[in-house]
Amino acid sequence: MSSEEELRAVYPLMRLLRDRITPETFAAEVRAQQAQGYELIAGFDAGAPLVLAGIRRAHTLSRGAHLFVDDLVTAEPSRGRGHGRAMLAHLASLARAEGLPRVYLDARLTAKRFYEQLGFTFLTSVPCWIEADRL
C-alpha cells in the first residue's frame, strides 16, 4: 500500500496507534520507512479499513532473521472480532513463505493479554528512549 489515496484511507487507523502522526506528515513518514523496507498491509470490509499492520524484514544479532511488526491496530468498533488475530496469522504466513522463522513485535501493556493468548513469548528487554541532545 503506497498510493496517496491508500495512505489517506488508512491514516485514521494508524492515528489510533501513533498519536504523534499528523495527516500532513503521515505519507512522508511512511515513504521514509518504505525506503528501508517497511510495508503497510491492511484488511478491508466494504472498502473501509478494519485492521492495519506495518512490517519490515530484519536480521539482528540478538534475534536473527525475522519479520518485525512495527504497527498493528484494529478499528475500535471492530475490535474483539478476530481481525488482529487474522492479520497476525497472515503475517506469520508471509514470514514462513520468506524463510523467516519468527515474528517479533513490541507490545503495549494494554495488549499483552491479546499476544499471550496467541502464544507470543515475552522477552525481558524494555524499549526505552532519550532525546539525543540530552546525552
Inter-residue contact 14 to 71 (CB < 8 Å): yes
pLDDT for 129 beyond 90: no
Chain segment 91-119, per-residue pLDDT in tens: 999 999 999 999 999 988 889 999 999 99
Q: What's the predicted TM-score (pTM) here? A: 0.90
pLDDT in tens, 1-27: 778 999 999 999 999 999 999 999 999
pLDDT at position 128: 86
pLDDT tens track for 59-87: 999 999 999 999 999 999 999 999 999 99
DSSP output for 30-87: HHHHHTTT-EEEEEEETTEEEEEEEEEEEEETTTEEEEEEEEEEE-GGGTTSSHHHHH
